[in-house]
């Protein structure tokens, strides 16, 4: 199959923005209809999520009136998009922002503290790669290594920007070469650039394997998609292929989820923690004549067995969550569970 490299976080789309042509109807109904129509023709996941978009129109269009304020119009459009439950879909104006999947809302946060993690590590661990990595060994189990990856992009991302921070991973892996096992922690990782996912994940792979298939919306019909493209995890660089536990939670999103699918193809990796967020598709940004901006998910991403995790996330083999009380008591049950798996 052909291979594809894509940007897989809605937060980093500056190199692939697509703007709508000018729309002369700037009335509340014109704005609402433009958004609804674009999703009707372009959004790739209606069938995956079992959404009847025509019914959605019937439910929300009566709320539009010519005398409504901009804030009222924004609220109707935002609530309509929230029915998609997609963390890669958002709408923003000069006065408001709304994410369809609650990506930045407290409702989707799971109790997790990197400061508490540091208490488990010898000397609080070490930072590298512009602060994107925290690594070290555990005070109670010095034979177990630990690497935390905060995300897969550092700073603002542009077409000409390099992501040299990723190169720190080779030194980190080398420093943990004498450990017997490793906890790879991507809790709270909200994604980034696929090139960074591929670069880092190759350091923990023992065999090359395809791990996702991607079909991109290419027409206005419900079933108008491109042929399938695939992406592979490829062993590269200084590698760690001893037993690994991969830790995720609800705030593992987008590129973090691609990273998860990639590592789940490897026999030496065990997945533990909480279910991931469920946002995989490339998201394209649109601009309206009233100055608002919104994004549309235009891909259907599945694992190699054809399973799509959009909106539901990837459930670990060993599922465990932290509680607020445990975090308040400086206890990380997910981390302790992962340590006990070795």
Distance CA 244, CA 149 (A): 14
Q: Is 95 a member of any domain?
A: no
Q: Which pLDDT band holds residue 247 (cuts at 50, 70, 90)?
A: very high
Q: What is the mean pLDDT of residues 247-264?
A: 96
Q: Is 35 a member of any domain?
A: no
The pLDDT tens digits of the residues spanning 13-49 come to 333 334 444 546 889 999 999 999 999 999 999 999 9
Give, in degrees to the nearest 5, the angle at Cα 213 between 211 and 216. Answer: 150
Contact 90, 99 (CB under 8 A): yes
Contact 245, 338 (CB under 8 A): yes
Total count of domains within the chain: 1
* pTM score of the predicted model: 0.87
Q: Which residue has the tokens 């996330």?
A: 313
Nearest residue to 59 via CA among 72, 76, 43: 76
The pLDDT tens digits of the residues spanning 153-183 come to 886 555 445 578 999 999 999 999 999 999 9
Q: Is 269 a member of any domain?
A: yes
The pLDDT tens digits of the residues spanning 70-110 come to 999 999 999 999 999 999 999 999 999 999 986 555 445 77
Query: Kind of pairing, strands 90-93 and 293-297?
Result: antiparallel
The CATH number assigned to the domain holding 134 equals: 3.90.226.10
Q: What is the span of the domain harbouring residue 260?
A: 107-279+310-340
Q: Is 65 a member of any domain?
A: no
For the cut 50, the answer to whether the pLDDT of residue 4 exceeds it is no
**Percent of the chain's residues with pLDDT above 70:** 88
Q: Based on the number of CB atoms within 10 Å of its own CB, is 177 exposed (0-12), middle (13-18) or buried (19 or more)?
A: exposed
Q: Based on the number of CB atoms within 10 Å of its own CB, is 58 exposed (0-12), middle (13-18) or buried (19 or more)?
A: exposed
Q: What is the mean pLDDT of residues 49-55?
A: 95
Q: Is 56 a member of any domain?
A: no
């Amino acid at each position: 199959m052909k291979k594809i490299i894509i940007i897989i976080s809605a937060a980093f789309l500056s190199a692939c923005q697509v703007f709508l042509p000018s729309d002369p109807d700037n009335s509340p109904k014109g704005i609402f209809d433009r958004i609804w129509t674009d999703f009707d023709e372009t959004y790739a996941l209606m069938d995956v999520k079992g959404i009847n978009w025509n019914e959605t129109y019937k439910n929300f269009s009566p709320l539009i009136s010519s005398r409504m304020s901009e804030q009222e119009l924004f609220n109707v459009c935002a609530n309509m998009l929230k029915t998609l439950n997609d963390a890669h879909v958002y709408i923003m104006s000069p006065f408001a922002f709304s994410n369809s999947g609650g990506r930045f809302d407290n409702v989707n946060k799971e109790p997790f503290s990197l400061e508490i993690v540091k208490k488990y590590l010898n000397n609080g661990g070490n930072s590298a790669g512009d602060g994107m990595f925290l690594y070290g060994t555990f005070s109670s189990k010095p034979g177990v290594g630990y690497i935390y990856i905060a995300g897969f992009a550092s700073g603002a991302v542009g077409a000409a920007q390099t992501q040299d921070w990723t190169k720190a991973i080779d030194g980190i892996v080398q420093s943990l070469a004498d450990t017997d096992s490793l906890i790879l922690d991507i809790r709270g990782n909200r994604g980034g650039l696929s090139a960074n996912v591929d670069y880092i994940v190759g350091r923990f792979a023992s065999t090359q394997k395809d791990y996702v298939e991607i079909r991109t919306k290419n027409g206005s019909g419900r079933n108008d998609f491109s042929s399938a493209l695939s992406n592979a995890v490829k062993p590269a660089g200084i590698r760690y292929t001893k037993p690994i536990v991969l830790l995720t939670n609800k705030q593992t999103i987008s590129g973090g989820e691609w990273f998860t699918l990639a590592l789940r193809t490897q026999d030496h990796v065990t997945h533990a923690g909480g279910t991931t967020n469920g946002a995989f598709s490339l998201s394209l940004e649109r601009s309206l004549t009233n100055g608002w901006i919104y994004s549309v998910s235009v891909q259907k991403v599945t694992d190699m067995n054809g399973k799509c995790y959009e909106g539901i996330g990837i459930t670990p083999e060993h599922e465990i969550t932290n509680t607020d009380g445990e975090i308040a008591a400086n206890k990380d049950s997910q981390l302790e569970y992962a340590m006990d798996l070795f």
